[in-house]
Structure 1
Amino acid sequence: MQIDKIRGHQTEQLFKAILELKDLDECYKFFDDLCTISELQSLTQRLEVAQMLKQRKTYDTIQHETGASTATISRVRRCVDYGSGGYNIVLDRLYPEEKESEGKTE
């Protein structure tokens, strides 16, 4: 399983720390201390790309709206389609209305 390659004491400590955050303000403070602006922008860009892929937006649209490279979009696409399911878990919880409309044709 792909998850096994990232398992370890330090990773577990990080994930437990994130789960201890109580609200957005605490998240901002923690991630401001933890990440550089560039690292945080990369993470947020990938999540936005994943959401847009689930919305079936084209690579051109995603690239134009997010500034992500086609390599980043392709990598995120592989994770959304064949990864551990993490993007789908988070996006389905953040945007349940989009999950309900998936597969429906108008």
Structure 2
Amino acid sequence: MAYESKFKKEEIDALFEAILALKDEEDCYRFFEDICTVNEIHAIAQRWTVAKLLDEKKTYNEIEELTKASTATISRINKCLVYGADGYRRILDRLKEK
């Protein structure tokens, strides 16, 4: 059964198509610098770091200290890892295979 997102829209499909067209890290920096604010990029990067640390079985206190993320943010990401759409999990596992 194919995954159906709760927020699927044509404009989001177009955004994801653009992201999938990025060829390297420089493309990523240039694209995301133009499309996001600095704070948005830092927030996304922080969430990704929290997900990786949760996957490494770090405690909430350790993660809070390392990332300065709130316990609410850490809890939300943990909930996504356990009950979410498997977005974090798929990429964490894919990167482990490298």
Letter in 2 for 1:44: A
Letter in 2 for 1:62: I
CA contact (8 A) 1:3 1:84 kept: no
Poorly superposed stretches of 4+, deviation over 6 Å:
none
Are 2:70 and 1:69 equivalent residues in the alignment?
yes
Q: Deviations over 1:51-103 (max 9, x none)?
A: 11011100000000001000000000000111000101111122337xxxxxx
Are 2:29 and 1:31 equivalent residues in the alignment?
no
Question: What is the deviation of 1:3?
Answer: 4.7
Q: Secondary structure at the match of 1:78?
A: helix
Name the Cα RMSD after superposition: 1.4
Which residue pairs with 2:51 in the alignment? 50
Letter in 1 for 2:42: Q
Indicate how the Cα distance of structure 1 residues 52 and 26 shifts in structure 2: closer, same or farther if over 3 A, else same: same
Q: Give TM-score, length-normalised by structure 1.
A: 0.86
Which residue pairs with 2:9 in the alignment? 8
Question: How many aligned positions are there?
Answer: 96
Unaligned runs of 5+ in 1: 98-106
CA contact (8 A) 1:49 1:73 kept: yes
